[in-house]
């Protein structure tokens, strides 16, 4: 087994190799003067089971091209099997035609990864589970709920918790977490007027006196989360903490979270956190290295991955 990393999240790749007790594969990913990407795999991969760790986070297009070129390079070097490990799968929010003459970019990216030569894909908390069907190769969608529930049990008093979904679409995820920590469930009903903006309408469920745990897969601008936190507190919640898998946190999101009424935002390292995120007083990062490392080990040894979440 060989594991390589692009430039998107090398820190996470190194943590995964530490868990697996193997060295990180030697590869050079650099750019020509005109910003064309050049990849050189600097060790033999003939007949090897190759894993390429690369989140397609900002800058999404650069990191996606790095991934595609690394897949092509290892395929042409006669790797036996190539698994693209995407802790964060970019373009996942474009999973359907939201209007006339618009693309389904998630399907396009799935086609690109497949055509580049990947034999299978491993990712974490897809924005929509049906994206697995966009790939014509085996796809493992790992779940962060066991990781998040463990952290909640370590940092919160469970007797007064209520799990809250920030929208109707996230109810399945919220219900799975609530079941694991034996908590009640509430839902924030909101109306989105335009992309990037949301208006909270009402809270479904009684949150009075409860310490609320908001759970979602992606936080980008942070507007929806901050609005939900304010609505929950206005409805009588004691406190609001958010657990989000993918901390995109673009634009002024970090400052918005720091100034919000959230007690804490907990994100994973599926996207490499910036210095601003690490310096924020109410943002905490937990690692997915052990989860991804164990899934990679099981894939390499042909053992069950789904049993990780039983």
The answer to whether residue 190 is catalytic is yes
Does the annotation place 10 within a ligand binding site?
A: no
Does the annotation place 206 within a ligand binding site?
A: no
- Residue 149 in contact with residue 308, Cβ under 8 Å? no
Catalytic residue among 153, 179, 190, 194: 190
Does the annotation place 216 within a ligand binding site?
A: yes
Does the annotation place 310 within a ligand binding site?
A: no
Integer CA distances (angstroms), 276 to 280, 285, 295, in order:
6, 12, 30
Provide the phi-psi class of 209: left if phi over 0, else alpha when psi is between -120 and 50, else beta: left
Does the annotation place 294 within a ligand binding site?
A: no
Does the annotation place 35 within a ligand binding site?
A: yes
Does the annotation place 173 within a ligand binding site?
A: no
Does the annotation place 93 within a ligand binding site?
A: yes
Does the annotation place 34 within a ligand binding site?
A: yes
Residues of the binding site for ATP: 34-36, 93-94
The catalytic site residues sit at: 190
Residues of the binding site: 34-36, 93-94, 127, 167, 192, 216, 220-224
Residues of the binding site for Mg(2+): 127, 167
Residues of the binding site for D-ribose 5-phosphate: 192, 216, 220-224
């Amino acid at each position: 087994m060989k594991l390589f990393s692009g430039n998107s999240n090398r820190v996470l790749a190194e943590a995964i190799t530490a868990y697996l007790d193997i060295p990180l594969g030697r590869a050079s990913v650099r750019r020509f003067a005109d910003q064309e990407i050049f990849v050189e795999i600097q060790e033999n991969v003939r007949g090897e089971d190759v894993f390429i760790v690369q989140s397609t986070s900002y800058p999404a297009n650069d990191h996606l091209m790095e991934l595609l070129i690394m897949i092509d390079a290892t395929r042409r070097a006669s790797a036996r099997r190539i698994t693209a490990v995407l802790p964060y799968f970019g373009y996942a929010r474009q999973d359907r035609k939201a209007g006339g003459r618009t693309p389904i970019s998630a399907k396009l990216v799935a086609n690109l990864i497949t055509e580049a030569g990947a034999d299978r894909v491993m990712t974490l908390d897809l924005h929509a589970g049906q994206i697995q069907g966009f790939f014509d190769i085996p796809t493992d969608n790992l779940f962060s709920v066991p990781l998040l529930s463990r952290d909640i049990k370590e940092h919160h008093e469970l007797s007064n918790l209520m799990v809250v979904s920030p929208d109707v679409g996230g109810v399945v995820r919220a219900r799975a977490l609530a079941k694991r920590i034996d908590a009640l469930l509430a839902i924030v009903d909101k109306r989105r007027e335009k992309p990037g903006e949301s208006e909270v309408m009402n809270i479904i469920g009684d949150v009075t006196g409860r310490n609320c745990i908001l759970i979602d897969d992606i936080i980008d601008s942070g507007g929806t989360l901050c609005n939900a936190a304010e609505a929950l507190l206005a409805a009588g919640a004691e406190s609001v903490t958010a657990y989000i898998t993918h901390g995109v946190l673009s634009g002024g999101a970090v400052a918005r979270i720091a100034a919000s009424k959230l007690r804490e935002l907990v994100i994973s390292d599926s996207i490499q956190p910036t210095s601003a995120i690490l310096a924020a007083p109410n943002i905490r990062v937990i690692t997915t290295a052990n989860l991804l490392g164990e899934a990679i080990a099981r894939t390499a040894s042909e053992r069950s991955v789904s049993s990780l979440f039983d």
